[in-house]
Amino acid sequence: MTRALVPHSSHWGAFEAEVTDGTVVAIHPYRHDPDPSPLLGNIVDSLRHRARITQPMIRAGWLDRGPGPDTRRGAEPFVPVSWPTAIERLARELRRVYERHGAASVYGGSYGWSSAGRFHHAQSQLHRFLNCLGGYVSGEHTYSNGAQSVVMPHVVGSMREFLDRATAWSVLERHTELFVCFGGIPIKNTMVSPGGASRHPARDHLRRARERGAEFVLVSPLRDDLPGFVSAEWLAITPGADVAVMLALAHTLVAERLHDRAFLERYCVGWERFEAYLLGTTDGCPKTPEWAERLSEIPAASIRALARRMAAKRTLINVNYSLQRVEHGEQAPWMVVTLAAMLGQIGLPGGGFGQGYGSLGYIGRAPSRIGPPTLPQGRNPVTDFIPFPRVADMLLAPGETFDFNGRRLTYPDIRLVYWCGGNPFHHHQDLARLQRALARMETIVVHDSFWTPMARHADVVLPSTMMLERNDIGGSPNDGCLIAMRQAVEPWAQARNDFSIFRDLAGALGVGDRFTEGRDERAWLRHLYEEWRSRVADDGGATPSFDEFWETGFLEMEGADADLVLLERFRADPDKAPLGTPSGRIEIFSATIDGFKYDDCPGHPTWLEPMEWLGAPLAQRFPLHLIANNPTARLHSQLDVGAFSQSSKVQGREPIRLHPADAAARGIRSGDVVRVFNERGSCLAGAVVTPAVRPRVVQLSTGAWYDPLDPADPNAMCVHGNPNVLTFDRGTSKLAQGCSGQHTLVEVERWKGLLPPVRAYDLPSMEERPGL
């Protein structure tokens, strides 16, 4: 018997894989990680799960009828083919599309998190490959924080320079007296960092802050958005009403003269414009706590009391990404900055604002001076792009114009969609609409390790290796550990590395050398490491040789600035260290945004009523507000087949949490299967009745693989519990066009019919065709 411990990494943590006789039998968290993620529990049984794609597959209809728009995607059988056949057919199709329609007809945005390694980063591999062919239409920003990442540069300047350098957790732990958490700080989200994290310190910092006497206020419809041990005061807000509460806090500060006028004058622009709105001078509506109570169901007295406490203590106001993944998502992050500016504590240890402490694990972990290695992607000569969440709009309406951040853009005419390392049937909204959009394509190509719903809707499906089946380097800009992600097991069946697939395709298309630069996997890893090593050396650091690094597995680097305070230098001297905004100051009023004349994103933070919330007329028909947030038991839709994710299901369905009063009114008990529905679609889910969810709110996380009752019908019920059959597909506003998938209105009823089986992990139907 052979036994080995192999260093490796994932977006949810570094680990060692225990390998016995060529099989991964256990995962052991990195020994220095104080709080390893339970998501590690999804890895072992996923590696060899039946839902893995075993060999290249081509949709029968595409083989028989050739490329072209087709509504039968997702319902037709696949034909298993050899690698040479797959490469030859796909190379021919790529040549046809590039020659006949040009590079601007290929959508290669390929949004998705794929896996943690820097070399086998699926999206980078795809972009590098498509750039060798002449480029592609790209995507910008993210589904995560699209609204924030567009509005914040107008308000405080570059995200990279400022927000990614959030005040360090260790500073908050020592200095913050009052944490006011809009959307909480859910520990489940802090487990995940793009690129991985060798340590998960958030829980310990929160615990120590609490032990020191810090107080916590949770503004959220979900009580467990903060861990119980911080004993938070829970303000169980109406979803979508946070900006109203923030405005009322601001109103109280002004009414009671608790705001820091000197700070507003020295460090901000546009206070007077905003103040006139706040007090109702411009619209006749003072944003008082009584006004906010009607919208938010938070008592006016609680809002007033909180405003006074905030002014009296060293206060951190945190807003999570979830609050900007909604209609008008630009407003909450902007208003949080404004509120923090009114308190005058921005740039002080433990005070000011935070954005995303509870959204991703790297926030509050100081960046290393030298970022980890990255794969060069080459140059993309195509200038057409979309903000990622506008993908269905683009595919449905070529030639139509749309607004984005002060520009008027035109949707290109896409013929071929290439996806590598993402799952739009997980991340996109209104899946019936997405299917209509995909049906217009001539060809869809997907690389994935699993038969995800996106793979099932493709024409050419190529099996990728998973982590642990290849060698890579793991690291992230805010983590001080570089990891030799060594291959632990052989690739499953005929799976190949994305790099190898693109190498062969590039070879067939005559650009092989350009793509590989003459390197194989090992040579690339050495090259990327040496390039990184010389950057570290230029900065005065010393690192071991590649061979030593590879042998050691985990390379701990010098500590980053553990005392980082956001905007400290700006506070010390705003003239010497101005912000990257037009004024160099915090823009409470942005003349730039105002100049865009967007009705859905005016020049200062504003309460804008959502179309779908409990205050809308639609709530008469669909009286429950669904929160479709990120899941606890997996990262997005990844490894949904894994043991930890499976252990969370109820009768095989994704759990939906609802309040006892709402459950009782509908005759629903924990363990029942329910149907969740609205005008756009319906799904089954498994009920969990709990007072941790406020009344008239239900919570169904994303990530259960879409499983339509009838795969030929885009409007079919999903029997597994994917909430994106229910969510709407509208941008946050004309400014950012971000994802607004977090909220929608629904009704829930007990499912009384025969329970359809979950077939999400079964193989699609296959048609053997010898000789291919």
228's tokens: 């119980």
Q: Nearest distance from residue 512's CB to ligand PGD, in Å? A: 20
Q: Is 259 or 636 the residue whose CB approaches ligand PGD more closely?
A: 636
Kindly write down the DSSP assignment for every residue of 324-370, as one continuous string.
GSSTTTTHHHHHHHHHHHHHT-TTSTT-EEEE-TTT-TTTTSPPPSS
236's tokens: 């169980």
Q: Nearest distance from residue 112's CB to ligand PGD, in Å? A: 4
Q: Is 94 or 306 the residue whose CB approaches ligand PGD more closely?
A: 94
Kindly write down the DSSP assignment for every residue of 506-553, as one continuous string.
HHHTT-HHHHHTT--HHHHHHHHHHHHHHHHHHTT-----HHHHHHH-
Q: Is 593 or 717 the residue whose CB approaches ligand PGD more closely?
A: 717
In 10 A of CB 2, how many CB atoms? 7
Query: How many Å apart are CA 188 and CA 636, to the nearest integer?
Result: 12
Question: Which residue type does 714 have?
Answer: P
E strand or H helix that includes residue 581: none
422's tokens: 């993402």
Q: Is 459 or 498 the residue whose CB approaches ligand PGD more closely?
A: 498
Q: Is 243 or 454 the residue whose CB approaches ligand PGD more closely?
A: 454
What is the sign, positive or negative, of the torsion defined by CA atoms of 435, 437, 443, 449? Answer: negative
Q: DSSP state, 183?
A: T
Query: How many Å apart are CA 648 and CA 618, to the nearest integer?
Result: 31
End-to-end CA distance of the chain: 39
Query: How many Å apart are CA 61 and CA 613, to the nearest integer?
Result: 42
Q: How many CA atoms lie within 13 A of 647 on its CB side?
A: 11
- The catalytic position among 111, 451, 550, 751 is 111
What is the sign, positive or negative, of the torsion defined by CA atoms of 351, 355, 360, 365? Answer: negative
Strands annotated E in 164-310 = 178-182, 215-219, 233-235, 268-269
Q: Nearest distance from residue 450's CB to ligand PGD, in Å? A: 5
Closest CA to 638 of 441, 366, 427: 427
Q: Nearest distance from residue 410's CB to ligand PGD, in Å? A: 25
Q: How many residues does the chain have?
A: 772
Q: Nearest distance from residue 436's CB to ligand PGD, in Å? A: 18
Angle, CA of 488, 493 and 495, to the nearest 5°: 75
CA distances from 186 to 145, 189, 225, 691 (A): 16, 6, 4, 17
Backbone angles phi, psi at 646, to 5 degrees: -65, -35
Q: Is 171 or 438 the residue whose CB approaches ligand PGD more closely?
A: 438
Q: Is 76 or 448 the residue whose CB approaches ligand PGD more closely?
A: 448
Name the burial class of residue 666, with classes exposed (0-12), middle (13-18) and buried (19+) by CB atoms within 10 angstroms of its CB.
middle
Name the burial class of residue 500, with classes exposed (0-12), middle (13-18) and buried (19+) by CB atoms within 10 angstroms of its CB.
buried
Residues near ligand PGD (CB under 6 A): 111-115, 120, 122, 142-144, 325, 420-423, 426-427, 429, 447-450, 452, 464, 498, 628-630, 635-638, 702, 723-724, 727, 739, 741-742
Output b/e per residue, 292-314; b: 16+ Cβ within 10 A: bbebbbbebebbbebbebbbebb
- The catalytic position among 30, 113, 277, 451 is 113
Q: Nearest distance from residue 424's CB to ligand PGD, in Å? A: 7
Q: Nearest distance from residue 582's CB to ligand PGD, in Å? A: 30
Q: Is 86 or 739 the residue whose CB approaches ligand PGD more closely?
A: 739
Tell me whether residue 111 is one of the annotated catalytic residues: yes
Alpha helices in 363-511 (DSSP H): 391-396, 424-427, 431-438, 453-456, 498-508
Strand partners, 685: 674
Q: DSSP state, 653?
A: B
Query: How many Å apart are CA 469 and CA 596, to the nearest integer?
Result: 49
Q: Nearest distance from residue 658's CB to ligand PGD, in Å? A: 17
CA distances from 259 to 39, 254, 339, 340 (A): 44, 6, 9, 10
Cβ contacts of 603 within 8 Å, gap of 6 or more: 270, 273, 589, 590, 591, 593, 594, 595
Q: Nearest distance from residue 491's CB to ligand PGD, in Å? A: 11
- The angle, 0 to 180 degrees and rounded to 10, between the axes of the packed helices 242-255 and 289-296 is 170
Name the burial class of residue 415, with classes exposed (0-12), middle (13-18) and buried (19+) by CB atoms within 10 angstroms of its CB.
buried
Q: Nearest distance from residue 458's CB to ligand PGD, in Å? A: 12
Q: Is 79 or 700 the residue whose CB approaches ligand PGD more closely?
A: 700
Q: Nearest distance from residue 640's CB to ligand PGD, in Å? A: 8
Query: How many Å apart are CA 353 and CA 332, to the nearest integer?
Result: 12
Q: Nearest distance from residue 732's CB to ligand PGD, in Å? A: 12
Q: Nearest distance from residue 311's CB to ligand PGD, in Å? A: 33
Q: What are the residue numbers of the active site?
A: 111, 113
